Amino acid sequence: MSIQRTRIQRLLVLLLTMLMLFAMAVPAYAAGGVNTAEYWNEMASQIVNSGTLKDSSDLAKRLSGVAGDSQFVLEGEKFYTVVVTSGFTQYVGGREVDPSRPVDTTKKYLAIPVASVPSQAGPTKDVTVYVHNDADSAALGKISAHATQGLLNQANVHPDTGAAMGLLSGIMPALNVVLGLMVVVISIGMSVFSALDIIYLAFPAFRSMVDNSVEQGGKGTRITKDGTVTSRWVTQDAILAAQDAETTQGSPWGSYFKRRILAYVFLAIILFILLTGNIFSITTLVTNALQGLFNSLGL
């Protein structure tokens, strides 16, 4: 069980590491900083590679979407960090700026012309990115941080949860068989160990034989993680319960069942699933839970 848990933890760490590397790699494609032509020319190239580009206005709009709507406050006044224009049309955060309330880019903004790229209407032209000269590092950092999600949005990358659920439903019969075998093995194993525990506690002759085997470290013993030698067939709970009974001169049953109550509850549940044929309800429950999660997230 511990080995399986370790493997799952390693897999999660690997997936998170790959996700972090991917998140860092996409903005890293753009050479230079946010206030350089190299950065925005590379972003324009990434947009062209991610899908069909209509014209210059489409490029300006999508570049502003990559940049996001980062803002900062300077001397009590709020400014956009980046504004993108195509001709006289301004875009911020993937949206066209209200023509009646344009952003004044003639002052305090660095104009960065974007190199021409191919589009359906021909090579783009007159696309300019304006970066505020006084934008602080936090505002500029938001631009870089938003670049990954912005480029993914341009590429229309969305998880196909419908196909994923269809694939899951396709392997459901095999999964039901595997789960059924697991239930049978677990129930038989727990029943055998519980029976041996009861024999160990009820019959002194059997208990003496097991204790002698443990003391000698012979066959039928195993070594726990802390280096203790114990029986391979009788649980540690039963051995400790017998030791408690010898110390208190009482009955071992109360101490034993107190230690094993959770195991017996688990055994009762899996036996109920096995005997009532509800093994299919487990996979159905998991499938419904995943589908509900996807729906709640709008995927």
Does the pTM surpass 0.75? The reply is no
Do 214 and 230 contact (CB within 8 A), yes or no?
yes
Domain count, the chain: 2
Q: Is residue 57 part of a domain?
A: yes
Report the pLDDT averaged over residues 70-86.
Answer: 90
Q: Is residue 210 part of a domain?
A: yes
Alpha helices in the chain (DSSP H): 2-28, 37-50, 56-67, 137-154, 161-170, 172-202, 204-216, 236-248, 253-276, 279-296
Rg for the chain (alpha carbons), in Å?
A: 33
* Same domain, residue pair 179 and 134: no
* Same domain, residue pair 261 and 178: yes
Mean pLDDT in the chain?
A: 76
* Same domain, residue pair 108 and 15: yes
Helix axes 279-296, 172-202, angle to 10 degrees: 120
Instruction: Please tell me which residue, 30 or 113, carries the higher pLDDT value.
Output: 113
* Same domain, residue pair 20 and 96: yes
* Same domain, residue pair 26 and 52: yes
30 pLDDT above the threshold of 60 = no
99 pLDDT above the threshold of 80 = yes
* Same domain, residue pair 203 and 67: no
Q: Is residue 88 part of a domain?
A: yes
Do 168 and 284 contact (CB within 8 A), yes or no?
no
* Same domain, residue pair 143 and 240: no
The DSSP symbol for 227 reads S
Q: Is residue 272 part of a domain?
A: yes
Q: Which of 130, 157, 184 is the last residue of a domain?
A: 157
* Same domain, residue pair 134 and 212: no
CA distances from 36 to 64, 65, 109, 160 (A): 15, 18, 13, 36
| pLDDT tens by residue, 229-242 | 788 888 888 888 88
d(CA 30, CA 46): 9
* Same domain, residue pair 172 and 236: yes
Residues spanned by the domain of 289: 163-296
Reading phi first (left if > 0) and then psi (alpha if -120 to 50, else beta), residue 298 is in left
5 pLDDT above the threshold of 60 = no
Biggest CA–CA distance in the chain, Å, is 98
Q: Is residue 172 part of a domain?
A: yes
Q: What pLDDT does 60 receive?
A: 92
* Same domain, residue pair 145 and 199: no
d(CA 54, CA 61): 11
Q: Is residue 2 part of a domain?
A: no
Q: Is residue 111 part of a domain?
A: yes
d(CA 113, CA 97): 19
| pLDDT tens by residue, 32-60 | 578 888 888 888 888 887 668 899 999 99
The least confident of 69-78, 127-136, 217-226 is 217-226
| pLDDT tens by residue, 191-232 | 888 888 889 888 988 888 888 888 887 777 887 777 777 888
* Same domain, residue pair 167 and 292: yes
Q: Which of 100, 124, 157 is the last residue of a domain?
A: 157
* Same domain, residue pair 192 and 144: no
74 pLDDT above the threshold of 60 = yes
pLDDT band per the 50, 70, 90 thresholds, residue 21: very low
Q: What pLDDT does 32 receive?
A: 53
Q: Is residue 1 part of a domain?
A: no
Q: Which of 105, 128, 157 is the last residue of a domain?
A: 157
